[in-house]
Amino acid sequence: MFRFALTLFSCVALLAVAALAPSLAAAAEEINVESAAVSFREVDGKRIVTLLRFRATSREFSLSSPYGVYDESTEMMTASAIEGERAVLVKSGENAFEVSAADAIAIHFENETLSATGDVIFRSDELDAWADELYVDRRSALEERIMGLVARIRGQETAELVQAFLAKIAPDDRLILLSGSVRLEREDSTMESSWMLVNEADQNEMISVAEPERTVRLTIVTREDEAGAEPQQ
């Protein structure tokens, strides 16, 4: 197993045994990688690191998959899945969660920008969710994508409800955006919709929207249901 570190401060890939100036080492954020094989190449003047069967860790994050690519120019790491073997990202500590995907997961470890595609599963202490796509980022970074979804809404009341939800979200607040065949399960409810926004800091705050001409499906578990009665829909 090959081990090395990628510095986020300088954007230079370093072997773990390579000499590094003490002042730079103290300032740099690192991604620590264990991989079956690693290649370094230049593409259009950009340094690209290719990883095979790897596990990358940085602070509270751990990313693993059969194949990965790290672009030093953007500091983005992309983990790709293969048939029967998913890409997996785990975050520990505050707002802990786990994401797995049948296609790919991309993350910027320093600013915690995250996207996942392909039969995505998201699990946290507050909820479990399934979707075609998932994005975790600050509202300002997701604004264009959110506005594209809002533009598809036909009902004025629905659009106003979405805007009322967004009015409470500051530009630097972080959101979880789930899109495409969304299903969410909580202890007290389940929900199915076209897309959903969740406040990462308080996952009890969310809004769920259906495709035009369709409806959101919501099942609420009542106290009687918890005691063993038939669920009411």
Q: 229 in a domain, yes or no?
A: yes
Q: 172 in a domain, yes or no?
A: yes
Q: What is the DSSP string of 45-95?
A: TEEEEEEEEEEEEETTEEEEEEEEEEETTTTEEEEE-BTTB-EEEEE-STT
The pLDDT score that the predictor gives to residue 1 is 60
**Tens digits of residue pLDDT in 165-219:** 999 999 999 999 999 999 999 988 999 999 999 998 898 899 999 988 889 999 9
Q: 102 in a domain, yes or no?
A: no
Q: 152 in a domain, yes or no?
A: yes
Q: Which domain holds residue 208?
A: 140-233
Q: 186 in a domain, yes or no?
A: yes
| Count of domains forming the chain | 1
Q: Tell me what the pLDDT averaged over the chain comes to.
A: 85
Q: How far is CA 209 from CA 26, 40, 219, in A?
A: 46, 44, 15
The pLDDT score that the predictor gives to residue 39 is 94
**Tens digits of residue pLDDT in 121-152:** 999 988 999 999 999 999 999 999 999 999 99
Who wins on pLDDT, 2 or 150? 150
Q: 215 in a domain, yes or no?
A: yes
Q: 197 in a domain, yes or no?
A: yes
The pLDDT score that the predictor gives to residue 4 is 54
Q: 49 in a domain, yes or no?
A: no
Number of residues that make up the chain: 233
